[in-house]
Structure 1
């Protein structure tokens, strides 16, 4: 037998930018990709958490860079991508992970502030980053943009109307861009997790009674929350060349919830 010379989901040398990279899925993805030889920049609004991820990566011998950014600002996003192009010498993969949720409320009880904040970060922020990624990737032969959507972008989500609307919007942007920029060799895909064990989900669960927490935890047929490691492994595969014919796809990780 010949020796295996490459590992699955090989991302060695890939130049990767991850927004929302200071915690949860973004941090796990950054650490995994860096451990496999990718050159990674994370961006986030939290300096403190961003530096913690940088320190964790350095301790593992897989350095990554951090830059603070507010994805709702087009100017800050453009500056972030200029920084990434300068530091990495190009961009192969952009993971648009920055996002928020809101406390479960009936649609008519949701405040203007909650709705605007959710849409501005989850949808307009992704649009800002997609636009900047296209400007960087189109002149250099292409790339891959991976947007974090949700099962809430594929189905209804009672009590989370603004979040659901934002993630449906992300799916619309992803599918439209996948067709618009295929000739430029820029692929667009979305990752659609269900309930994952992240700080954001845990914070939401703290507002629930015990019965509601159990219902959320058992929402999938596997009767548990997903892990950030499971989602980051999927992102690593998408970031590799093994996913080269995947475009405009909703990559669902839901334990069978939508089956």
Structure 2
């Protein structure tokens, strides 16, 4: 039969924020295609449910609790993943939070600090822990950034700043470790239909909700399977010459 396109069979993959949204969809798709996956998240119940969904089909997802904002918690996660999987090929840094849309001058220190702690420093903690694991034989680190990391994002300035920061980390690491055959790329979706985005939309009036949905030329939110399908391709060797890139899935928003 030969291998399917975007073959990830036997790949050892760690996914943060794997209990819901893009992380869960990616984990389930990768496991279905034969990858061995560790998912990590703060939410134990949801994480275990995703793992059980895979196990029921004879597929391999194991859950481990993590707080990406805590460096020690991240180190422990990577030690667990290395032991569980016997190595790592791909790390998908997907854990992230939103913040309530608000004008910049009304943001509290806490709103800003929390976004930076999880969305930026959390990704940095995971990148720093991933590199020693991947140095022996190379690998791929995929950071989930956002179209908000590539353009203006009024009313979600702290989120946008954190995602612009992720782009800076991604590009810098891509050059630093290219010779070691560790690649770094970012996935930049526009608003995608996930629990996190639904939570954001719920805090807005109907006009603001429609503005977000219509911001994409395709006039709809992205679907998780559209993002996870792209992630699966990135996890395969077919993406092997892509490095330091912002892989944008936005229905044409940046065109």
**TM-score of the superposition, structure 1-length normalised?**
0.97
TM alignment of 1:79-90, pairs within 5 A: 79-90=76-87
Question: Which residue number in structure 2 is paired with residue 132 of structure 1?
Answer: 129
SS at match of 1:8: coil
| Structure 1 segments unaligned to the other structure (5+ residues) | none
| Structure 2 segments unaligned to the other structure (5+ residues) | none
Structure 2 CA distance for aligned equivalents of residues 201 and 131 of structure 1: 28
Q: 1:121 aligns with which of 85, 104, 118?
A: 118
CA RMSD of aligned residues (A): 0.7
1:238 aligns with 2:234: yes
1:15 aligns with 2:12: yes
Structure 2 CA distance for aligned equivalents of residues 66 and 127 of structure 1: 21
TM alignment of 1:167-182, pairs within 5 A: 167-182=163-178
SS at match of 2:241: coil
Question: Which residue number in structure 2 is paired with residue 100 of structure 1?
Answer: 97
TM alignment of 1:70-219, pairs within 5 A: 70-138=67-135, 140-219=136-215
**TM-score of the superposition, structure 2-length normalised?**
0.99
1:257 aligns with 2:253: yes
Structure 1 residue 59 displacement after superposition: 2.1
Deviates most, 80-89 or 205-214: 205-214
Structure 1 residue 239 displacement after superposition: 0.2
What whole-Å deviation, never above 9, does each CA across 1:140-171 have from its counterpart, x for those lacking one? 21100000000000001000110000000000
Structure 2 CA distance for aligned equivalents of residues 61 and 216 of structure 1: 39
Deviates most, 201-210 or 55-64: 55-64
Structure 2 CA distance for aligned equivalents of residues 188 and 176 of structure 1: 9
SS at match of 2:160: helix
Question: Which residue number in structure 2 is paired with residue 224 of structure 1?
Answer: 220
The structure 1 segments of at least 4 consecutive aligned residues displaced by more than 2 Å after TM superposition are none
